[in-house]
A and B are shown apart, each in its own frame.
Chain A
Amino acid sequence: MTKSINQQIAFWILRIMSSLVVLFLVLILGFIISKGIGVINWKFLTTMPEDGMTKGGIYPAIIGTFCLVGGSMLFAFPIGVMSGIFIHEYAPNGFFKRFVQLMTNNLAGVPSIVFGLFGMSLFVNKLHFGDSIIAGSLTLGLLVLPVVIRTTEEALKSVNDSFRLASYGLGASKLQTIWRVVLPIATPNIITGLILSIGRVSGETAPILFTVAAYYLPKLPTSMYDQVMALPYHLYVLSTSGTDIKASRDMAYGTALVLVAIVLIANLIANALRKFLSKKVKMN
């Protein structure tokens, strides 16, 4: 009898603690959404900041973040996917493969501020890119590279070996098998990972602090050697070091909501895609 009472108590404690985790998310999202929703309108999204960033919009920051996401994905996506293919399909089991995987894990664990330091010393100073979109994009690209590699690996792992064997059996080469059979099946999963990493890149602040982000720059970039404003850094500036922190609070709420919305949308799309795919696979 006491045994089952103990179990009841233990399970209720587990339930309460798990709901605390949910509560945290609800609190944070609820707070940001309820405070920010009143600020967001078309004008907020499409005009320049005014009056020392206490009025106007966040247009240049949105465009800046857009450039950085695009740039970093252009860099990280092809290399990451190829690296994932290499690790899962090509590398012979052994020391080299384990070493590459270990290094990928290590890179994934490196703090974002260290990427910032590295990006500053390599791209900004050594390669003389200056504070520019290209320096920031490359730094962010390095940061998400392990994420892309891992999702590619996972996606390839989920492709059943019988597909590969069937393709080999028909006389196809390794490359043909990967290109014509494995990749088409794995692509949707890879894209899911890509969408999630877009969410990650658009929120990173520390790597862009010293490689691209501008405190206040009310114009759009014209080349990849320009500085830009970016949403996460803009939020940081508005909430800690703006010209008038109290007056720019509303702007900060709006910016935070836009950032959260990007992550939310990315997650929703990724989840929907995943669900859609698992249905499709079942049908086969």
Chain B
Amino acid sequence: MKKILSYIFGRIITVLLYLSGSVTSIIVVLIVIFLFSEGSGLFGKKPTEEGFIMAVNKTNNVKHLDAEQIKLIFDGEITNWKKVGGRNDSIILFRMDNITDFFTEEQRENPDSVIKLLGENYERLPQCISRVVEANPGIIAFVGKKYIDKNFAGKELKIDKITISDFLFGKLWFPTAHPVAVFGALPLLLGTFWVSIFAILFALPLGLATAIYMAEVAHPTVRNILKPVIELLAGIPSVVYGFFGLVVVVPFIQNTFNLPVGETALAGSIILGIMALPTIITISEDAIRTTPRSMKEASLALGATHWQTIFKVILPYSSSGITAGAILGIGRAIGETMAVLMVTGNAAVIPHTLLEPVRTIPATIAAELGEASQGGLHYEALFTLGCILFIITMIVNLAVEIISSRNKRVAS
């Protein structure tokens, strides 16, 4: 009896172990499902608010506009229909709240005639809108659907649905703009890469030098000091790095370069570089250590100095491990949220220099998710950004996996 019980107990434990062994795989799959199901909802939807349409004069030959064009039109940056593929005619903006601008001066001055035109409870508003749209050939009207009756004298302008390429290559990120929200993630993508690449450019030489020093040159006592230092650097929370950046690095950059604001890509790169150091150092050091002793000794026996051996034998041998460390460092930098959010200034514009504010994908999610209503376009767009981030880190991980497995094969 006791034997049976302990057998059953053993079986149960084994099953539990198998279950918990696959738990990470399940979580990864769940993350994929949730992220992509929430994020993919964005595509194929119209970027306007529910219940509103764009109307133009019947003679207008423009058939459809995309969100970016409408945003630029309503911002007054595009003022002629020619720019969006129409005839040469200037654009007249019409929103519900500036309807009185289209009345004649007498009509506007006289409250009675305003009431006569609009109706006491705005019941004549549809006809009024219809008249205004008919009278102005260059008009573009943003009106609620309920004010469009069947005798409407204008025509509805088609608004392009959001596509993947719009999202990836759109240059404007205005998720809460009126009348249309514009989701162009290009500035965020470029901002993320911009900050991360400069972070690595600064962290890689430093990290590599430290790794070589620790693995080859340093006295064991020095190494025993350096190791906990690097562990601590890795352990400091990102929000503390962000705070340090905000209080020390940002004012320093502002004063040194005489800038109006110190929250710049440079500040982000410096902080991210420091944060990426531990990853680069640990992985490169491990890679350097795997160099077989016989290779080192062969080089030394041929009369090479220690430095020549490091430079000509050890570094080439461990180059794939070092590459893996650098890629993983970039991956960490791309995904870092809080520190970047606090020091880069968060302006969603395509960066040109290091001394201007940028905004990264993780910072955008962290800053905007709180104010986006659940299930709305903005919410879905942020999840789509999360998908992009997830895909990037998956690529980074797989690349590292491939590089290090190749390294193992070479070693054996």
Query: Among the listed B209, B213, B397, which residue makes an inter-chain contact with A105, where contact means beta carbons less than 8 Å apart?
Result: B397
Count how many chain A residues have C-beta atoms less than 8 Å from C-beta atoms of the other chain. Answer: 85
Distance, CA A111 to CA B359, complexed state (A):
16
CB pair B362 A110 closer than 8 Å: no
Query: Among the listed B10, B236, B396, which residue makes an inter-chain contact with A260, where contact means beta carbons less than 8 Å apart?
Result: B236
- List of A residues within 8 angstroms of B260 by Cβ: none
Q: CB-nearest residue of chain A relative to B231?
A: A267
B169 touches A (CB below 8 Å)? no
CB distance from A162 to the nearest CB of B (A): 23
- List of B residues within 8 angstroms of A122 by Cβ: 30, 34
Query: Restricting to A108-129, which residues have a CB under 8 Å from any CB of B?
Result: 109-114, 116-118, 120-122, 125-126
CB pair B30 A25 closer than 8 Å: no
CB pair A112 B335 closer than 8 Å: yes
B96 touches A (CB below 8 Å)? no
A182 touches B (CB below 8 Å)? no
- List of B residues within 8 angstroms of A31 by Cβ: 244, 247-248
Interface string of B210-240 (1 = CB under 8 A from A): 1011100110000001101111110111111
Query: Among the listed A86, A111, A232, which residue makes an inter-chain contact with B20, where contact means beta carbons less than 8 Å apart?
Result: A86
CB pair B369 A28 closer than 8 Å: no
CB distance from A68 to the nearest CB of B (A): 13
| Interface size range of chain B in the complex | 35 or more
CB pair B209 A13 closer than 8 Å: yes
Query: Among the listed B27, B213, B240, B246, which residue makes an inter-chain contact with A203, where contact means beta carbons less than 8 Å apart?
Result: B240
A90 touches B (CB below 8 Å)? yes
CB distance from B3 to the nearest CB of A (A): 11
Q: Looking at A21, A32, A78, A85, which has the most chain B CB atoms within 10 Å of its CB?
A: A21
CB pair A200 B28 closer than 8 Å: no
B51 touches A (CB below 8 Å)? no
Q: Looking at A80, A105, A114, A204, which has the most chain B CB atoms within 10 Å of its CB?
A: A114
Interface string of A169-211 (1 = CB under 8 A from B): 0000101000000000000000000001001101111100110
Q: CB-nearest residue of chain B relative to A104?
A: B24
Contacts A109-B393, A113-B389: A25 and B242 contacting too (C-beta < 8 A)?
A: no
B356 touches A (CB below 8 Å)? no
- List of B residues within 8 angstroms of A125 by Cβ: 374
Query: Restricting to B365-412, which residues have a CB under 8 Å from any CB of A?
Result: 365-366, 369-370, 374, 382-383, 386, 389-390, 393-394, 396-397, 401
Contacts A7-B307, A103-B28, A118-B31: A209 and B370 contacting too (C-beta < 8 A)?
A: yes
CB pair A113 B24 closer than 8 Å: no
Q: CB-nearest residue of chain A relative to B281?
A: A21
Q: CB-nearest residue of chain A relative to B38?
A: A121
CB pair A83 B23 closer than 8 Å: yes
Query: Restricting to B321-344, which residues have a CB under 8 Å from any CB of A?
Result: 328, 331, 334-338, 342
A-B pairs with beta carbons under 8 Å apart, 5 shown: A13-B209, A22-B225, A202-B237, A209-B369, A267-B235
Known: A236-B243, A267-B232. 16 other contacts (CB 8 A): A4-B305, A21-B207, A24-B233, A24-B277, A28-B241, A83-B21, A86-B17, A104-B24, A110-B28, A111-B362, A113-B386, A114-B386, A196-B235, A203-B236, A209-B369, A235-B240
Q: Mark A residues whose CB is within 8 Å of B.
A: 3-4, 6-7, 10-11, 13-15, 17-18, 20-22, 24-25, 27-29, 31-32, 78-80, 82-83, 85-87, 90-91, 99-100, 102-107, 109-114, 116-118, 120-122, 125-126, 142, 145-146, 149, 173, 175, 196, 199-200, 202-206, 209-210, 232-233, 235-236, 239-240, 249, 252, 256, 259-260, 263-264, 266-267, 271
List 8 tightest A-B contacts by C-beta distance, closest first. A203-B237, A111-B335, A86-B21, A17-B209, A7-B307, A82-B20, A206-B337, A14-B213
Q: Mark B residues whose CB is within 8 Å of A.
A: 10, 13-14, 16-18, 20-25, 27-28, 30-31, 34-35, 38, 205-207, 209-210, 212-214, 217-218, 225-226, 228-233, 235-244, 246-248, 274, 277, 281, 305-308, 310-311, 328, 331, 334-338, 342, 362, 365-366, 369-370, 374, 382-383, 386, 389-390, 393-394, 396-397, 401
